[in-house]
């Protein structure tokens, strides 16, 4: 009986430690602002804007290169 109480306390202590540590790890992984996430059915075959020909490729590459290029006016 004494062994069961000791094991229950150990499991509870482990649960509390994991409860405190895991949310911090998950938030740290989501803070990276250099990830482009979009919902598309397929991935582009090429990432070269000169070789892309399908509209889904062009749409994705327009988002990727948006900060790097601008149209001449």
At residue 58, the pLDDT reads 87
**In contact, 67 and 36? CB cutoff 8 Å:** no
Q: How far apart are CA 2 and CA 70, in angstroms?
A: 72
Structural domain boundaries in the chain: 1-29, 40-73
0.75 exceeded by pTM: no
57: exposed, middle or buried (C-beta count within 10 Å: 0-12, 13-18, 19+)?
Answer: buried
The most confident of the ranges 38-42, 54-58, 69-73 is 54-58
* pLDDT (tens digit per residue) in 14-39: 777 777 776 665 544 555 677 767 78
Among the residue ranges 6-10, 23-27, 53-57, 64-68, the one predicted with the least confidence is 23-27
């Amino acid at each position: 009986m004494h062994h069961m109480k000791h094991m229950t306390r150990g499991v509870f202590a482990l649960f509390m430690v994991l409860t405190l540590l895991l949310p911090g790890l998950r938030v740290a992984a989501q803070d990276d602002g250099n990830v482009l996430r979009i919902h598309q059915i397929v991935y582009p075959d090429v990432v070269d804007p000169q070789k892309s020909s399908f509209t889904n490729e062009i749409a994705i590459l327009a988002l990727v290169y948006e900060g790097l290029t601008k149209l001449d006016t």
